[in-house]
A and B are shown apart, each in its own frame.
Chain A
Amino acid sequence: GSAKSHHDEL
């Protein structure tokens, strides 16, 4: 998992 990709979840 990259550092930025979690921002696509709520």
Chain B
Amino acid sequence: MNIFRLLGDLSHLLAIIILLVKIWKTRSCAGISGKSQILFAVVYTSRYLDLINAFISPYNTIMKIVFLAASYGTIYLMYMKFKATYDVNHDTFRIEFLIAPAAVLALIVNHAFEPLEILWTFSIYLESVAILPQLFLVSKTGEAESITSHYLFMLGSYRALYIFNWIYRYYAENHYDLIAIVAGIVQTVLYCDFFYLYITKVLKGKKLQLPA
């Protein structure tokens, strides 16, 4: 564990909490993509199946359980409790176009052709593009509430911090995982345009509005 990884995990946790609290407090999930939330639930489920056969540390186990619970909790709030506020007409990204290629790629490019390993690889590939329905929703409506922007910023920071973690681990531990690194870089790049808008607009107190 190094500082970059810890900060990355905390950003990730904060993003998830921001989203849950926002939906709960406003009693609304307007502006949030349920498709992205479904993809994240698929990501955590396929990656954290190792909860049953691998123990790393109490920290690791607790975080995995929290991510899984928060993810399914968000889906419950969006698709059950506050379903009436869900922006279904704008949330039209076809997630099968992300799931199918991630699955095929995981079968071809992996560390070992074993069920849990392929599921882990699939989760890494799918996570790298799981935010696309959310970014698509923001681009369709042309704006995002500032709290949604904070959520996206924390979620993007998490993977960016993980890149620093991987650089650190490469030099300090001689550890690296090319699958995670390449997918993590793709994931971070997808946020770059958003980071720019966040820094130039949201941090100056303006609403995140896309140019017409």
Question: Is the CB–CB distance between A7 and B177 below 8 Å?
Answer: no
- The answer to whether residues A1 and B64 also contact, given A7-B50, A7-B120, A9-B5 and a CB cut-off of 8 A, is no
CB distance from A6 to the nearest CB of B (A): 5
Q: Which residues of A contact B178 (CB under 8 A)?
A: 1
Interface string of B168-205 (1 = CB under 8 A from A): 00000001111110000000000000000000000000
B18 vs chain A, min Cβ distance (A): 18
Asked if A10 contacts B63 (CB within 8 A), the reply is yes
- Given A1-B175, A1-B176, A1-B178, the answer on whether A6 and B120 have CB atoms closer than 8 Å is yes
- Indicate if B67 sits at the interface (CB-CB under 8 A): yes
Q: How many residues of B contact A (CB 8 A)?
A: 22
Report the separation of the CA atoms of residues A3 and B180 in the bound assembly, to the nearest whole angstrom.
11
Chain A, Cβ-Cβ closest to B110: A3
In the complex, the chain B residue whose C-beta lies closest to that of A3 is: B111
Task: Contact check, A3 vs B117: say whether CB atoms are below 8 A apart.
Answer: yes
* Contacting residues, chain B, for A6 (C-beta < 8 A): 111, 120, 177, 179-180
Q: How far is the CA of A8 from the CA of B162 in the complex (A)?
A: 13
Q: Which residues does B use to contact A, with CB under 8 Å? A: 5, 9, 12, 50, 54, 56, 60, 63-64, 67, 111-112, 117, 120, 162, 165, 175-180
Name A's B-contacting residues (CB within 8 A).
1, 3, 5-10
Ordered nearest first, which 10 A-B pairs have the shortest CB separation?
A3-B111, A1-B177, A6-B177, A1-B176, A3-B112, A8-B56, A7-B54, A10-B63, A7-B50, A1-B175
Give 7 A-B pairs besides A1-B177, A6-B179, A7-B120 with Cβ atoms closer than 8 angstroms: A1-B175, A3-B112, A3-B117, A6-B111, A7-B50, A7-B56, A8-B56
